[in-house]
Amino acid sequence: MAFRLSPQLVKNSLASHSWMGIAIGALMYWVCLSGTLAVLYPEFERWETPTVSEYTEVNPEAIQSAYQRFMEGQEPTEHAYVLLPRPGMPRTVLMSDHSARVLNADGTLGEPAAHPWTHILTDLHLYLHLPSSWGMVLVSTLGAMLLALIVSGVLAHPRLFKDAFHFRRKGNARLEQTDLHNRLSVWGLPFYIMIAVTGAFYGLASMLSWVAAEAFYDGDTDVVIETVYGGHPENLPEREGPLGIARVLQDSMERAPEGTRPIYVTVEHPDTDEEHLLVGTHYPDRLIYAEQFYYDGAGNFLNKVGFSDGEPGRQAIFSVYRIHFGHFGGLGVKLLWVALGLALTVVSVSGINIWLAKRKHRDALNNLWTGIVWGTPLAFVVSAITQVLLQWPSKWIFWGVILAAMILAQWRDRHPPTKRWLLGLTSAGLVLLALGHALRFGADAFTGAAPGINAGLLLAALALGLMAWRQPTR
């Protein structure tokens, strides 16, 4: 007897599949768009806090003294950090697990170090605003899915490369979206593969560590982590006198090659028997994030991890961050990464657009997708206005704007006018944000990274305004 599914079950299954497709498409879109903006997160941090004192050189003795003052009265902490001036971030920040303060140019402790809107942006890209333990796994899974989509897309379109410059801009909307999707897919293919692989690595690293531990180290994941990232030193002598931050900074500069510079000091387990320091040194001609030098609490050298000259796998793993975010080669590479990231964002959106067009009918899915795609840029702008200019906690404002855009799209039930409204509001919001930033921060809005970001906001406002003007009114 043949097994047959009921028509209602088939209908419900298709509906569930459709909703799941939109859900995954929305998550991919949010990760791609936020990742594109996050390439410039150091510049956004400086734009968000333009009053912070900026400089490129700092005296090691001043760092030593500032650290001691910062740690007075601190709650017990597992880690303490000194983030030193570095390329793209000419400021010093002292941090524990509980608080953070900037260091003024005169050596005094400044205002609390906080950049909540930039955190909204980066937290969306890394965790989708979910708890970090499984938010990063979800984002990394999306990276793996992106890689699978890239491979399957290339295999499914044998003429993809042959038609790389064939683009139909008039006529059938589905064909136009298809050509846009396929052309951008070809032009940025190496970049997309790199983003998918490095993005998948972050959250799946723990799973890979577990597999390697089971295969080679009798299930001991700590050994795997120490093999890759270096182990904590043992049998440390008891420290006498102050923590030797000034000494380790001087010693690391002597040990590192010419042209390098220390960019952070980490104090592990401060004021305990396990206390030790590591200095991260920036190598401008390498992709690695930093080489690390280990010291005991008194400032005596222990060892170098070997990210700069160790095993190739260790060097490669510590290069993932700079490659993924384009933080090498200066501002030109960052802007290239932004352009390619926008292209990947368009590819992710156009893929869903093609799927929706193939259905031959419109329903709530079309409207909600319109609200998500064009409401998200507006949400970034509104949350920046409320957080940076008004200092309101704005993570839920961000999601509230997206929800309101989805409701608007469903109410209007027509794509062109809804898109026109959302683009127009985003354009106006960008102008308000740039002008409001200048009014709120005064002369500080014309120093550091702020002028560049504000100019970019105004250019984006012009581009989106032109897009809104070209949209049909009904």
pLDDT at 217 over 80: no
CA gyration radius for the chain? 25
pLDDT of amino acid 417: 94
Higher-pLDDT residue of 178 and 276 is: 276
Lowest mean pLDDT among 128-142, 176-190, 228-242, 440-454: 228-242
**CA–CA gap between residue 182 and residue 180 (Å, rounded):** 6
Across 104-136, b (16+ Cβ under 10 Å) vs e yields: beeeeebeebebbbbbbbbbbbbbbbeeeeebb
The encoded tokens of residue 396 equal 């839920």
Q: Which residues contact 24 (CB under 8 A, 6 or more apart)?
A: 142, 145
Angstrom distance (rounded) from CA 382 to CA 305: 44
Tell me, what's the pLDDT at 105?
A: 92
| Residue 103: pLDDT band with limits 50, 70, 90 | very high
Q: Is the pTM of this model over 0.85?
A: yes
Measured in degrees and rounded to the nearest 5, phi and psi for residue 261 equal: -155, 145
- What's residue 471's pLDDT? 87
What is the C-alpha to C-alpha distance for residues 80 and 143, in angstroms, rounded to an integer? 32
> In this structure, what token pair is assigned to residue 225?
């982590």
Tens digits of per-residue pLDDT, 287-334?
Answer: 999 999 999 998 999 999 999 998 888 888 889 999 999 999 999 999
Tell me the average pLDDT of the chain. 88
Q: Which of 354, 332, 28 lies closest to 192 in space, CA to CA?
A: 28
Residue predicted with more confidence, 64 or 13? 64
Question: Residues 6 or more apart from 159 whose CB is under 8 A from it?
Answer: none
Which residues 6+ apart lie within 8 Å of 208 measured at CB? Answer: none
Q: Supply the DSSP symbol for 198.
A: H
Q: Residue 164: is its pLDDT beyond 90?
A: no
Local confidence band at 241 (pLDDT 50, 70, 90 cut-offs): confident
Mean pLDDT, residues 349-361 taken together: 87
What pLDDT, in 10s, does the model give residues 372-427? 999 999 999 999 999 999 999 999 999 999 999 999 999 999 999 999 999 999 99
pLDDT of residue 412: 92
In this predicted structure, the answer to whether residue 13 has a pLDDT above a threshold of 60 is no
Token pair for 168: 């139909």
Distances (CA, A) of 173 to 168, 169, 181, 358: 9, 8, 12, 11
pLDDT score of 10 more than 50? no
